[in-house]
Structure 1
Amino acid sequence: MSTWCRFLTLVAAVLHLSEPACAAPGASPACSIVWNGQAVSGKLDGGICKTTVRYGAAARWEDAVAVTSQSGISATENPPSCPQIMGNPTQGATSSEDCLTATIYAPVGGRRLPLFCWLHGGSYSIGSASAAGLDGANLAKRGRVIVVVLQYRLNVLGLIPPSVAPTASDPNLQVRDIILGLKEVRKNLAWQGDMDQVTIGGQSTGASLIRALWVAPAAQGLFQRMILQSDPFNYGMAPMSETNNFRSAIYNHPALGSANTFAALQAAPLANVLGAAGAVYNAAANQMPSSPPSQPFRPTYGTPTIPKEPTGELFNNPGGLTFSPASVPMLLTTVADDGAHVFTNSEMNFLAFRNILARLVGPAGLQVILTTPTYNITADNTDKRPAFTKILTDGAWRCAAREVARKWAGAGGQVYVGEFREGIHYPLNDQYPYCAGKVCHMDDIMPTFGQGGGFANMIADNWLSFIKTGRPAGGWSAFAASNGIDGAGVKALGGDGVVPTCPAGFWGSAVKWHWQLFA
């Protein structure tokens, strides 16, 4: 776009006039936003303006800063993903370290609209705004809200800088990226959005990152509502000792050769950095038994960004959270078979079952599970996948979420709890054949974004009601601290309408949460 056209576009956007017909290829003259003083023309589709912008930039392992330049970013397309530790499982064909972007879906002409900012999942190490299902156009149009999908640095680039980096003592670059993104959204969309109605939402570790914000001082006031979907509440954040052990293994890996100064590591080929990190990631079970099997690299607590372990703080000292639960309503959901997505076609024998379970619950917890009639485990050659799915779904998701809800309600918070008894198959689950016929982890993403009609529209309408009012629609009652964990107060979302119970006095008591064991 020429300088003169940029000037005219900026004036038009500020004065809410029609945009001059000299925008970039693919852009629509009917939609644009002003981002850090620069007019950016998006792509119009069905009354929704989709615009991808760069909210920050950072050198490798350095803190991100807000930027004005949008050079190199296509405002009308999905952005390149942040580098992935296990290939690129998203729709984006490319990746780049210059990946701190926000993809915005906004109704044309809307003013003072509620905002919904979404954090993708992916075990803190994969995923992007280009992932399947994260097109916010349907939701923005159906509810006249602004939907924003934030990208943030992943894996070793976002969580484990080398010891010689200036960020080594507070390695939570990923979390600080999100905080910067939220601040930039509030600053730049204030003319179009209602900054008193900002909801932050996420699925899986996207939801876990919202949990990290519970104790992040810099997150104060950035949102008024939260939607946490299939957050593995069983897992907490990492202690610095765990992060340091991973750091040592990564930066002493042969893939990085003799690079040991910060300048040399910043200049090292990305493939070498990811190769070293990937090798450590895959061997995490042997190198760091305290790390969760599915997400060995995770944010670090005991730092200025995350001073305390957030789940432990809610359970033991809710007054120590950055904001009072009474001030931020929460919508909290799981799916019927959250634990089923870890299996391929291979059956699970008793030895594998026992070894993996020991990592999740510790030796004492393992003995409780093996000897209790609650899950009826037999030491034989029968396939243990059904039992493991039930145990993992209960222990990492369903029962953990209900206990979190009890604590949130007990601290004066308004919380709504639901379980997806129906879902829409998520494309990434094609690699997990055991998910067939089940409501698997990630099968809630399409409905959340109103993709699929029928059931999806019902879910979207409930979510939109919460985004606008702090309460879902359809007579969904708030969860109470007195509900316990037996299923009372939990909304069945579609399907058979049945909400399973959780065993009393079991999870978090007889069998400790992972965060209790290793915090």
Structure 2
Amino acid sequence: MNWNEKTAVVSLSSGLARGEVRDGVAVFRGLPYGERIDPSSRLSELRAPTPWPGERDATALAAVFPQARSRLAAVMGNGIDANAQSEDAFVLNVWASAEAESMPVFVFIHGGGFMSGGGSATWYDGERLAREGRMVVVSVNYRLGALGHYVEGDDTASGNRPVRDLLHALAWVQRNIHAFGGDPAAVTVGGQSAGAWYAWLLGISPAARGLLRRNLLLSVPAVPPQTPQEARATSEAFRAHAGGPPFDSIPVAEVLAAQGELMRSRAGFGEISVGFRPVEEEGLVPGWLFDVPRAAAAAHVDATLLGFTAEENTAFLFAQPAVTGASEAEVRAWFDRAFGARAGHVYDRLAAARATPTPYTQLVDGSSYKVFMAGTEQIAGAFGARGIPVFPYRFAVQSQVPGLMSPHCMELPFLFGNRPAWADAPMIMEVPEPVFERVGAAFRNPIVGFVRDGKPGPAQSWPAFMAATPQLAEFREDGLAMQPWQLLSPGSGATPA
């Protein structure tokens, strides 16, 4: 990489790219990792980007894939509105110390419920991580919603376009990351929410073997892939909302409107509506992805760091009067539907963990456990049983928004340490700056250690999970502390409390 105080130029497999240098970190935005083989088809697979002449300008804020306003905007803010939208946003962004050489690589996959978000959003600016962690940071876009998962007829494999997008991006990293001073043999793939789902998949799928060394899962939702039958039904329901014209001829605005109607039609009391998502496909997306012991046996990562926020689902529930004002009878009925014969046990254990439980906190804790925490427990137990080091955490820093507590996405500003990018995010507006900096350092430092050598720090400060004495790292306003972990999930590696 050739650089001076203001600009840096790299030679990539598709041509030269010019980025900017900010305080010793070279920043490259909007680098193409692929392009549609058939530009006229939304169902098209990708190929390597066409080489370009001269130097490509990689300094402008890049586009994201088309999307409607996120249902979490009331929590995260609207920072992504600064990005243009494009159906050809097959780009990634790179931050690297200008003098980087054979440094570890952190590839971050954004969340958004498979429907929204983008690696090009300033939320995920990796400058501070690259500078403090002496690593190369990459963020990536992938196709969303119907534009990524719609299938026609029996070709359900075409509903995995986002998975193949990410494989193309990781292959690009293998070909090109050395030009930024990164080590292609030391790639950690991390993600949050839907991005964590993909990071989990990539650590299991044989199609990704050799493209990553370890993974980092922030709030991974234990949601299985769609079956082929479900994928067809979802696409047919979308077509009904869209009015039935050929998929490639539906205007983007109408695609987004139709998928929004589909999501609303699937909403239920206390539930997170999930519409489009990847589909079972042999050799790519195993249907047993969340049969965690089987997935652990197939894993090709050498370590995993994963965790959740203390009250994940407040992000989806805090603004719903029917939920915040629910009765105990309504909440107990939800537990019966969610947990069957275990409902009373789970309800009582979650109530015992709070000083003053209410129907709202019970529903928050039950739904958060069902979607995010149970899978984390099971992964820790299954990986630990196979000798794969796994490091669980709970992020418990509290928002000051009434009813929000420590919601889904709360850890992200602390991970990236870029508070100005979250200036309109209600969840952190009242967090004092000293707390933001203290917790940010406490959270970033072990993650940097994990990316660098597979361990989040000295063994005595954050040891790997052990089923006999389960613990997790808890991040609070005063920093990090190890805490006993009261496991509830069968198969989590210890007898449920």
Q: Structure 2 length normalisation: TM-score?
A: 0.82
Report the structure, 1 or 2, having the larger strand content. 2
State which of 360, 367, 370 in structure 2 corresponds to 1:395.
Answer: 370
1:280 equivalenced with 2:262 (yes/no): yes
**Residue 373 of structure 1: CA displacement?**
6.7
**Residue 394 of structure 1: CA displacement?**
2.9
1:228 equivalenced with 2:217 (yes/no): yes
The 5 A counterparts of 1:180-199 are: 180-191=168-179, 192-199=181-188
Cα deviation, 1:154-187, whole Å, max 9, x if unaligned, reads: 11111223338xx533411111111110110110
Is the Cα–Cα contact under 8 Å of residues 471 and 483 in structure 2 kept in the other structure?
no
1:48 equivalenced with 2:25 (yes/no): yes
State which of 331, 335, 341 in structure 1 corresponds to 2:309.
Answer: 335
The 5 A counterparts of 1:316-465 are: 316=294, 318-319=296-297, 321=298, 323=300, 327-342=301-316, 343-344=318-319, 346=321, 347-350=324-327, 353=331, 357=335, 361=338, 364=341, 366=343, 372=348, 375=351, 384-422=359-397, 433-435=402-404, 438-451=405-418, 452-465=436-449
Structure 1 counterpart of 2:43? 61
Report the AA paired with residue 66 of structure 2.
Answer: P
Structure 2 counterpart of 1:129? 119
Give secondary structure in 2 for the equivalent of 1:188. helix
Is the Cα–Cα contact under 8 Å of residues 14 and 51 in structure 2 kept in the other structure?
no
Question: Is the alpha carbon distance of 1:186 and 1:70 closer, same or farther for their aligned partners in structure 2, counting shifts above 3 Å?
Answer: same
Cα deviation, 1:28-59, whole Å, max 9, x if unaligned, reads: 86312223231110121111111121111224
Question: Is the alpha carbon distance of 1:40 and 1:386 closer, same or farther for their aligned partners in structure 2, counting shifts above 3 Å?
Answer: same
Give secondary structure in 2 for the equivalent of 1:482. coil
Report the AA paired with residue 206 of structure 2.
Answer: P
Structure 2 unaligned blocks of 5 or more: 419-435
Question: Is the alpha carbon distance of 1:269 and 1:114 closer, same or farther for their aligned partners in structure 2, counting shifts above 3 Å?
Answer: same
Structure 2 counterpart of 1:256? 243
Report the AA paired with residue 470 of structure 1.
Answer: G
Cα separation, 2, equivalents of 1:498 and 1:317: 27
Is the Cα–Cα contact under 8 Å of residues 170 and 304 in structure 1 kept in the other structure?
no
Cα separation, 2, equivalents of 1:267 and 1:248: 16
Structure 1 counterpart of 2:427? none
Cα deviation, 1:326-358, whole Å, max 9, x if unaligned, reads: x52111121222222122162231365456556
Give secondary structure in 1 for the equivalent of 2:115. coil
Report the AA paired with residue 326 of structure 2.
Answer: N
Structure 1 unaligned blocks of 5 or more: 1-12, 20-27, 377-381, 513-519
Tell which structure's C-alpha radius of gyration is larger. 1
Is the Cα–Cα contact under 8 Å of residues 170 and 303 in structure 1 kept in the other structure?
no
Cα separation, 2, equivalents of 1:418 and 1:369: 20
Give secondary structure in 2 for the equivalent of 1:81. coil
Cα separation, 2, equivalents of 1:441 and 1:214: 23
Q: Structure 1 length normalisation: TM-score?
A: 0.78
Report the AA paired with residue 265 of structure 2.
Answer: A
Question: Is the alpha carbon distance of 1:388 and 1:267 closer, same or farther for their aligned partners in structure 2, counting shifts above 3 Å?
Answer: same
Cα deviation, 1:258-293, whole Å, max 9, x if unaligned, reads: x2xxxx42132112222222211211248xx9x973
Percent pairwise identity:
23
Structure 2 counterpart of 1:100? 90
